[in-house]
Amino acid sequence: DAMVIQNPRYQVTQFGKPVTLSCSQTLNHNVMYWYQQKSSQAPKLLFHYYDKDFNNEADTPDNFQSRRPNTSFCFLDIRSPGLGDAAMYLCATSRDRGRGGTQYFGPGTRLLVL
């Protein structure tokens, strides 16, 4: 089945230690999104790639970076995680932007910062 895969499902890191979360997709979609979801809150868009074009949300901290080396993979890098970065990180994909297209979500990676 075509899907969005996130690894690992759970990630523990130390305060200030860089961490990378990964997302892959078999849907061949043009757009890949990264969301941060804190407990009992709605997902918050961090940034997205439309093909190779990177689009950062205005309020996304500089501590968060992303890479998309090819259509299938996208990475979220947190350069110096703080305690406030503990959250669920969701990757999503869509065929295109606009036009009411569905975003397909992966199962998420729960990040714990010690």
Partner 1 sequence: AQSVTQLGSHVSVSEGALVLLRCNYSSSVPPYLFWYVQYPNQGLQLLLKYTTGATLVKGINGFEAEFKKSETSFHLTKPSAHMSDAAEYFCAVSFAFGGSQGNLIFGKGTKLSVKP
Q: How far is Cα 78 from Cα 75, in angstroms, rounded to an integer? A: 10
Cα 62 from chain centre: 15
Interface residue with partner 1 among 92, 93, 111, 113 (CB under 8 A) is 92
Cα 92 from chain centre: 7
Residues 43-72 contacting partner 1, CB under 8 A: 43, 45, 48
Q: Under a CB-based contact definition with an 8 Å cutoff, are residues 55 and 49 in contact?
A: yes
Give the SS3 label for residue 84: helix
Task: Using the rule CB under 8 A, give the single segment among 13-21, 34-42, 67-75, 77-85 that binds partner 1.
Answer: 34-42
Interface residue with partner 1 among 21, 31, 74, 87 (CB under 8 A) is 31
Query: If binding is defined by CB under 8 A, does position 108 make contact with partner 1?
Result: yes
Q: State the residues that interact with partner 1 by CB under 8 A.
A: 4, 6, 31, 40-43, 45, 48, 88, 90, 92, 94, 96-108, 110
